[in-house]
Amino acid sequence: MTGATGATGATDGALAVVRAGALTTVQDRGRPGHAHLGVPRSGALDPYAHALVNRLVGNPPDAAALETTLDGCALRPDRAVTVAVGGAPCPVTVDGRPAPWGAAVRVAAGALLTVGAAVRGLRSYVAVAGGVAAEPVLGSRSADLLSGLGPAPLTNGTVLPLGPARGPVPPAGPVPWPGPPEELVLRVRPGPRDDWFTDGALRTLATARYRVAAASNRIGLRTEGPPLERAVPGELPSEGMVLGAVQVPPDGCPVVFLADHPTTGGYPVIAVAEARDLAAAAQAVPGTPVRFVPLGPAARRPPAHPG
């Protein structure tokens, strides 16, 4: 990725990746509007944290930043930069000296910025004044792990181009950082295939306690808990999927689609989670309790029949 430029062609320095960590990717607001082409929306899983770190360094909300998972990363700029680390709380150091989390920090040229392992939550965000100037693909610099669009996940030695800073960083004022959830509450509306499930399954979804499964990723939040019983056997032809779709695979445990979700799928969707609740899903560690809360009464349709 060395030598890539932003949409304007302007770059101003570079950021070398000394330690990439378990999974660090470039993310902005994503590329919505291309599902008809089979392209997921991608983008930061925790859009609130992403917007806040950009605000702290004077970037526009859609500037590209880094999303780290679990164990952070280490970065070395070739010019003096202003950075901010937020999202999942974690230790931050500059050349081994403690630096504040959740605030703008000045990092000298050649100094080592270390973003440590998340103390709570899963994903931390690193914004640099000027933004990461990776080459846009379909209007976004986001890495999409499902389709492979955008910059690849970072590896040791990757060099990221930086955009020009917009000037002195303005005072940010109080920053309302939401904490990682102790319990993930997802408000849901009936899905297009809720009639493929028994009445008992709908009651289970609304009342049972699930847990976040370790197999969760940027594509979907997997759960562990009581399986949901199907009223209609058989398979569906692939149909369109949306952000927050609660799909039920053969094991009966709900999967909540996140930013890198496929645009089509063949398992029935029992419900759709509110998009405003999905930022908390990005920070829910494995084992976190999950509750699905129906929004208002839903009329029950007659059972569907395959084909």
Residue ranges per structural domain of the chain: 14-161, 184-294
Contact yes or no for 117/22 (Cβ under 8 A): no
- 10 vs 130, which has greater pLDDT? 130
Find the range with the poorest average confidence among 5-19, 20-34, 87-101, 105-119: 5-19
Class of domain 184-294: mainly beta
Which residues neighbour 35 within 8 Å (Cβ) at sequence distance 6 or greater?
A: 41, 240, 263
- Give the percent of the chain with pLDDT over 70: 91
Query: Using an 8 Å Cβ cutoff, are 232 and 195 in contact?
Result: yes
Question: Does pLDDT of 167 surpass 80?
Answer: no
* Region 260-280 average pLDDT: 94
pLDDT single digits (tens) 59-84: 999 999 999 999 999 999 999 999 99
Task: Give the strand order in the sheet containing 123-128.
Answer: 23-27, 65-69, 123-128, 81-87, 104-107
d(CA 250, CA 271): 16
Residue 8 has pLDDT above 90, yes or no: no
Q: What is the pLDDT of residues 141-166, one digit of tens each?
A: 999 998 899 999 999 999 999 999 88
CA distance 274 to 246: 10
Threshold 0.95, pTM exceeds: no
Distance CA 209, CA 43 (A): 29
Q: Whole-number mean pLDDT of the chain? A: 90
Provide the CA 291 distance to its chain's centre, in angstroms. 20
The predicted structure's pLDDT at residue 142: 96
Is residue 261 within 8 A of residue 180, CB to CB? The reply is no
What is the average pLDDT across 25-47?
90
Name 197's bridge partners: 230
pLDDT at residue 9, rounded to an integer: 53
Say how far apart CA 29 and CA 267 lie, in whole Å.
27
Q: Which amino acid is at 103?
A: A
Question: What count of other Cβ atoms lies within 10 Å of the Cβ of residue 238?
Answer: 12
The neighbour count for residue 41, using CB atoms within 10 Å, is: 21
Q: What is the pLDDT of residues 235-247, one digit of tens each?
A: 888 898 999 999 9
Instruction: Report CA torsion sign: 250, 255, 257, 261.
Output: negative
Kindly state the average pLDDT of the residues 5-22.
78
End-to-end CA distance of the chain: 47
Mean pLDDT of 212-221: 97
